[in-house]
Amino acid sequence: MQVPPEEERFAKNAVIMAEAIYMGMKKLNDEGHTDVNLPFIQLAIAMIKDFDRHDLIQGFIKNGHDQCWDKIKARDETFFVDNVTSIFAPLPMNMVIIFKDLFIAVDKQGKPIVSHDLKQSIWQLFDAMIKIAIKYIHKQRKTDISFFKEVQLHQHAATWQVQLL
């Protein structure tokens, strides 16, 4: 069985993440937090599905490789929340802001609304997306050695334990 190209796998993970956000927001909505626009999230998911695969992964690389990937590795939630709009600049900004709001939302008692398990799943999806992005850069550099030349590919591959074949 042939493995899909990196840009396809990356886009699939982006959709899975958006769908997880939708499910999290739907759960909140079902629990009485009705200020969430669920149809808008569904529209954003559809937009991500139709987004050019190369533009999606390249935007993630461009906006995240220099600082963000290390912060994701460290699970630095504050950095992530403060920078999510630049990390996901190519995506619909309303979707990005909803994602940010979901990540930091607390209930009346000050407890996070998003479960620890959902946050861990989101972090794991980010991990996968970064690893895919590293492989994508490596593959592209086989035909264009200057492709994202500013990315310290071997350093990232070592940090994320990605074998460059």
Q: Which range has highest mean pLDDT (29-43, 74-88, 128-142)? A: 128-142
Q: Is residue 27 part of a domain?
A: yes
Q: Which range has highest mean pLDDT (79-83, 92-96, 108-112)? A: 79-83
- pLDDT, position 118: 82
- Tokens representing residue 36 in the block: 């969430």
Q: Is residue 61 part of a domain?
A: yes
Q: Which residue range forms the structural domain that includes residue 32?
A: 6-131
Q: Which amino acid is at 44?
A: A
Q: Is residue 161 part of a domain?
A: no
Q: Is residue 110 part of a domain?
A: yes
The stretch 64-92 carries a mean pLDDT of 85
Q: Is residue 157 part of a domain?
A: no
- pLDDT, position 34: 67
- pLDDT, position 36: 67
- Count the domains in the chain: 1
Q: For residues 153 and 144, give the distance between their C-alpha atoms in angstroms, rounded to a whole number.
A: 14
State pTM to two decimals.
0.90
